[in-house]
Amino acid sequence: MGKALLKGLLLTLRHFFRKPETIPYPEVKRPVPERFRGRPVLLSGDDGQPLCVACGLCERVCPSLCIAVIPESGEDGVRRLGSYRLDLSRCSFCGFCVEACPVGAIRMGGDYELAVYRKEELIMDAEGLQRETVKRETGPGRG
Amino acid sequence: MYVKLKINGIETTVPKGGTILAAAKAASVYIPTLCHDPRVAPTGACRLCVVEDRRRPGQLIPSCFTPARDGMDIVTDSPVVTAAIREQLKLILINHPLDCPVCDKAGECVLQELVIRYGIVEAPYTLEAPFRPVDRESPLIERDMTRCVLCGRCVRICAELQGKGELEFMRRGYGTYVDTDGSRALDCDFCGLCISACPVGALTDKLFKNTTRPWKLERRETACLHCGLDCRIYLNMEGEILRRVTAPPDKDGAEELLCVRGRFGWRAAAGAVRRPPGPWLRDARGRRDATWEEALDFASRRLAEIAGERGGGAVAVLTADLLTTEEAAVARGFFRTFLGSHDIASLQAAGYRRLMDQLDRMLPSPPPPASQEDLLAADVLLVLGGGAAEWHPVLKPLINRYRQGEGKELIVISSWPDYLFERATLPVAVAPGHLEGFMAELQAALEGREVASGLDASRRGIDVGRLARLVSLLQGQGEIAVLVVPDLYARGDARAALAASLHHRVQRILPLGGQFNSRGALSAGFASPRDFQDILADIEMGRIRSLYLIGEDPLEDFPDPQRVRAALSRLDLLICQAPYATTAAEAAHVFLPTVLPWEKEGSVLAVTGQRRHLRKVMTAPPGARGDGEILEELRRMMGDPPANLPGRVAAVGETGSSGSPAAPPPGSPAATAAGGRGFPEDRTSEANAVGAEAPSPAFPFLLVPVPSLFGDGLVSRQSPELAGLKGGLGVVMNNDDFAALNLKDRETVWVATPYGAAPARVRALARIRPGTALLLHAPGNPEGLSLLRSDVAAVPAAIGRKEAP
């Protein structure tokens, strides 16, 4: 009995000196795979503004109707983004919006920590959607 | 005569002269088109509608303008045809930017649909893009010609239907583009037909621009509010937000016609700033907001007091015809039967009601409804009075369609060169002020009566040759339809009499100038021989103590606002029940906000006699109530009819006996028939004899107030877009007069009449008679109204740069 106990303890002791298999989440984040579909991200241009031209195709294609794009006229009279709203509580992370986007202004991001205290925080505007905390090891083709 | 042919093996027939495209449509076979618009003549510019005859393989036929012939065996989907269409699409795409994501047309773009349908994914040709203008300066319509595919639909519809020819092809060959002359901003009727015709996003609606996407819109059918033609329109709603107005397709699938008011005037009903949130009261303590209960209680109490003390005759009513027919019946029951009021008049539809009333009395049977098709079917269209197409702008494309028919005659008798006058086959110009006299004489001459002065054509400034042709056309064999057009403020009684005297030879008589539901209001029994002029005199004499305004504003819609204001201040009770808080609302003792016709359900009767039932298509503002609802509530609160009313007994007797409009109260017909006797100014009734006062050295011009294309009605005036197009009071002069005064186009000048002076923007027109000037946009403009007097077709005026005397 004592021998069996020692054998077990030895196994445990051996693991103290090995490289750990777990990571100290949340201090350390797990990297996400290349084709991971996390929270959608609006890509920004050099001026920090979203690349989105407010064509509304993502809104049209979205199967869970969680996107609302409101366009406005820019100074040059061309359509530009007025406001962008994405309701994460309804988003099914299908990625259709990314496929539909004619200008590559949206992609599926790496963020997966989406827990919030209030549901309202899940309704995100353009500014919130432009931020991304989890970086991928290698990004997908777009972005 | 029909032609028999086969389309893709399907036997079909088409009337002789019909195109292969029409035959394919009858056979339900799809043929792609881009430059084809069923409203205008085909031109064959895009070459996408090519088909092949099996008997002549390889030879491509443009189907949109090739007439079908007997025995044709057409194929629309052979490999040769499909390859040709694909190639043609690629060629069109050379000069079409791929900016669909930011183009407003995306989703309803014909080119986009065709490219997807034919699977064009590559753009094999590249060429340097030629110069194409972009115009973002014009009001309401944006032109981005880089997107233009040169189909010419806008050019054709503007010239053929609207008759403006504002857009034209510029340059030749590869450098061709569509533009205005001199590349200026648009200065046209802004009917928007070019927008409705454009298959791509080259011509777009500025109000709609960058607000939403067409696939998010729900179309709700209703009727346009801006005139009495009640054109069918689609409200394009995104949820509960109105985004634009489009025309529904007619029975042949072609888009119907709209005018500037219908297409761009919708912000009068959606987002108008003058719609108050709730009722208010004004009493000794000043104006204060009130609840509906308070306001209705106050109104019913005061109405009962006045009607009880002085009889129902002391209450007069003015209604704009925004009531549905059902509400009009409620209003008639409340005012005529219950209160015993004699006077239900209108301001905006005064001319129309007077015409209808006269025709009713003079014709053996009421005028039969005249639909647009009836007008198009006539051989001779006789227009009595100027301004038909200004009262009802959709008449412009309709009359142009009429004129395209063979042997069609358009006779316009007018004292100013309005739109139809300039396009008439027989324009008869009569000097301002002589129109009434001329028509009376013409009627006498046609009836074979002796005319005292003979038909003294030269005295009235009429060409004798034209007069002879007019008489011969009226006595000829052709089918005649008559449009009777009222003046803006004068009572044009002779034209109704002339129309009525022709009734045995005339197919249709259509009085114009009606508002939204004017005909419905008359059918509900609003007819009254007395108009506001008589009511005003009665108010001044103290016979009328209370005025109930339903959507009308005498301070904004009647000449001489100072006199009206003084009269209104003598009233014991002024109730203003209207969708908008206009000038009179500020003076009212009670203001009751109401809903607009789009916000309620009911039936309307267009001036053409077409009855329509309208659904509620928009949410009403929370504080507003329906007109019928308010009147029913007032009646309920008043309980028994006010007792001891001398006028009431008569009113019940006359309305109870038949459904016909009530006869005028005893004593009044004689006073009114004389044309406003008892009017404080004798000059006015004198002037009425000739319809205008003579010019004098101090006032060398004759100023004729005329209706505006952009809408004079209360609803039209609430639209910021239409108000912007009007640009305030306007005066139009003869070119030579204009040059003699050394004026600049659209310069602000002073217009002075014996009654007042006002600044106005001046423009010149060659065809106006020298010495005559037209006054535009006076309704709703207190300064403009102060220049005028009611019942006068023209007033003497001075126009100049200087400050008014």
Q: What is the pLDDT of residues B707-762, one digit of tens each?
A: 999 999 999 999 999 999 999 999 999 999 999 998 988 999 999 999 999 999 99
Indicate yes or no: CB of B106 within 8 angstroms of CB of A55. Answer: yes
pLDDT of residue B502: 87
Residue B323 included in any domain: yes
Rounded Cα distance between B503 and B485, Å, is 16
Residue B445 lies in a domain: yes
* The pLDDT of residue B666: 39
> What pLDDT is stored for residue B285 in this prediction?
82
- Inform me whether the pLDDT recorded for B800 exceeds 70: yes
- For residues B421 and B385, give the distance between their C-alpha atoms in angstroms, rounded to a whole number: 10
Q: How far is CA B103 from CA B121, B142, B679, in A?
A: 19, 12, 61
Q: Predicted confidence band at B454 (pLDDT cuts at 50, 70, 90)?
A: low
Please, which residues bridge with residue B592 across strands? B577
Angle at B591 between CA B588 and CA B592, to 5 degrees: 155
- Residue B459 — pLDDT band, cuts 50, 70, 90? low
Residue B459: what are its φ and ψ, rounded to 5°?
-65, -35
Whether B687 has a pLDDT exceeding 80, the answer reads no
Domain membership of residue B565 (yes or no) is yes
Range with the lowest mean pLDDT among A95-104, A111-120, B411-420, B524-533?
A: B524-533
B216 touches chain A (CB under 8 A): yes
**How many domains, in total, are found in chain B?**
5
Q: Are residues B531 and B579 in the same domain?
A: yes
Domain termination site, one of B93, B111, B137: B93
Residue B87 makes CB contacts below 8 A (sequence gap 6+) with none
Average pLDDT, chain B: 88
Looking at residue B273, its pLDDT comes to 76
Residue B476: other Cβ atoms inside 10 A: 14
User: Is B494:B354 a contact under the CB 8 Å cutoff?
Assistant: no
What pLDDT does B453 receive?
53
pLDDT of residue A76 exceeding 70, the answer is: yes
Nearest chain B residue (CA) to A68 = B212
Task: Over range B377-402, report the average pLDDT.
Answer: 93
Q: What pLDDT, on the 0 to 100 scale, is given for residue A38?
A: 92
- Residue B273: inside a domain: no
Among B72, B118, B594, residue whose Cα is nearest residue B319: B594
* Residues B372 and B445 both lie in one domain: yes
Tell me which CATH code domain A40-133 carries: 3.30.70.3270
Q: Is a pLDDT exceeding 80 seen at residue B280?
A: yes
Q: Report d(CA B482, CA B472) in Å as an integer.
A: 16
Among B513, B529, B553, give the residue marking a domain's end: B513
Does B87 lie in the same domain as B159? no
CA distance B212 to chain A (A): 7
> Each residue of B480-523: pLDDT tens digit?
999 999 998 888 788 989 988 888 888 789 999 999 999 999 99
With the C-alpha atoms ordered B798, B800, B804, B805, is the resulting torsion angle positive or negative? negative
- Residue B279 and residue B292 in contact, taking contact as beta carbons nearer than 8 Å: yes
pLDDT score recorded for residue A107: 93
Q: Which among B715, B691, B714 has a CA at the least distance from the CA of B702?
A: B691
Whether residue B570 lies inside any domain: the answer is yes
| Better pLDDT: B656 or B548 | B548
Asked if the interface predicted TM-score (ipTM) of this complex is over 0.95, the answer is no
In terms of Cα–Cα distance, which of B238, B342, B234 is closest to B654? Answer: B342
The one-character DSSP state at B794 is: B
How high is the pLDDT of residue A138?
53
Tokens 């001489």 appear where?
B560
For residues B717 and B724, give the distance between their C-alpha atoms in angstroms, rounded to a whole number: 10
Residues B385 and B507 in one domain: yes
Count of CB atoms situated within 10 Å of the CB of B60: 18
Overall average pLDDT of the B217-237 stretch: 95
Secondary structure of B488-522 as H, E, C letters: CCCCCHHHHHHHHHCCCCEEEEEECCCCCCHHHHH
pLDDT, tens digit, for every residue of B295-316?
Answer: 999 999 999 999 988 888 999 9
Lowest mean pLDDT among A113-122, B385-394, B454-463: B454-463
Closest CA to B581 of B277, B300, B343: B277
**Residue B291 and residue B192 share a domain:** no
pLDDT reported for residue B707: 94
Cα atoms found within 13 Å of the Cα of residue B234, Cβ hemisphere only: 16
**Same-domain status, B329 and B405:** no
Q: Single out the residue in B75, B93, B111 at which a domain terminates.
A: B93
Tokens 């960058």 correspond to B210
Residues A55, B100: C-beta atoms closer than 8 Å: yes
3-state secondary structure B633-662: HHHHHHCCCCCCCHHHHHHHHHHHHCCCCC
Residue B397 has pLDDT above 70, yes or no: yes
Residue B274 within a domain: no
Confidence of residue B457 (pLDDT cuts 50, 70, 90): low
Contact A111, A133 (CB under 8 A): yes
The shortest C-alpha distance from B149 to chain A (Å) reads 20
Domain co-membership, B402 together with B367: yes
Q: What's residue B674's pLDDT?
A: 36
| Percentage of chain B lying above the pLDDT 90 cut | 68
Least confident of B9-23, B268-282, B598-612, B715-729: B268-282
Contact B714, B320 (CB under 8 A): yes
Query: How many contacts, defined by CB atoms under 8 Å, are there between A and B?
Result: 37
* DSSP-derived 3-state class of residue B144: strand
Number of H helices, E strands in chain B: 29, 33
Q: Which structural domain range is residue B19 located in?
A: 2-93
Quick one: average pLDDT of B413-432?
A: 91
Query: Rounded distance, CA B5 to CA B55, Å?
Result: 12
B221 and B81 in a single domain? The answer is no
Closest CA to B339 of B330, B327, B348, B347: B330
User: What pLDDT, on a 0 to 100 scale, did the predictor assign at position B91?
Assistant: 93
| pLDDT single digits (tens) B582-630 | 999 988 999 999 999 999 999 999 999 899 999 999 999 989 999 999 9
CB contact under 8 A, B136 and A60: no
Within a 10 A sphere around the Cβ of A139, how many other Cβ atoms? 11
Residue B105: the pLDDT is 95
Identify the CATH number of the domain in which residue B242 sits.
3.30.70.20
CB of B16 less than 8 A from some CB of A: no
**pLDDT value, residue B664:** 39
Residues B363 and B504 in one domain: yes
pLDDT of B327-378, one tens digit each?
Answer: 999 999 999 999 999 899 999 999 999 999 888 888 887 777 788 888 888 9
Asked if residue B340 and residue B306 are part of one domain, the reply reads: yes
pLDDT at B659: 37
B655 vs A106: which has the higher pLDDT: A106
- Asked if the peptide bond before residue B680 counts as cis, ω within 30 degrees of 0, the response is no
B298 found inside a domain: yes
- pLDDT at position B693, please? 67
* Residue B748 near chain A (CB below 8 Å): no
Phi and psi, residue B511, nearest 5°: -75, 140
Between CA B719 and CA B715 the distance in angstroms is: 7
Task: Please check the confidence at residue B456 and state whether its pLDDT lies above 70.
Answer: no
The tally of CA atoms less than 13 A away on the side-chain side of residue B347 is 24
Is the Cβ of B100 closer than 8 Å to some Cβ of chain A? yes
pLDDT at A136 over 70: no
Query: Are residues B295 and B223 located together in one domain of the fold?
Result: no
CATH of the domain at B609: 3.40.50.740
- Say yes or no to pLDDT of B248 above 80: yes
Distance from CA of A71 to the nearest CA of B (A): 6
B213 to chain A: nearest residue by CA? Answer: A56
Percent of chain B whose predicted confidence (pLDDT) is above 70: 92
Q: Chain A: residue nearest B103 by CA?
A: A79
CATH number where B762 lies: 2.40.40.20
Domain annotation covers residue B106: no
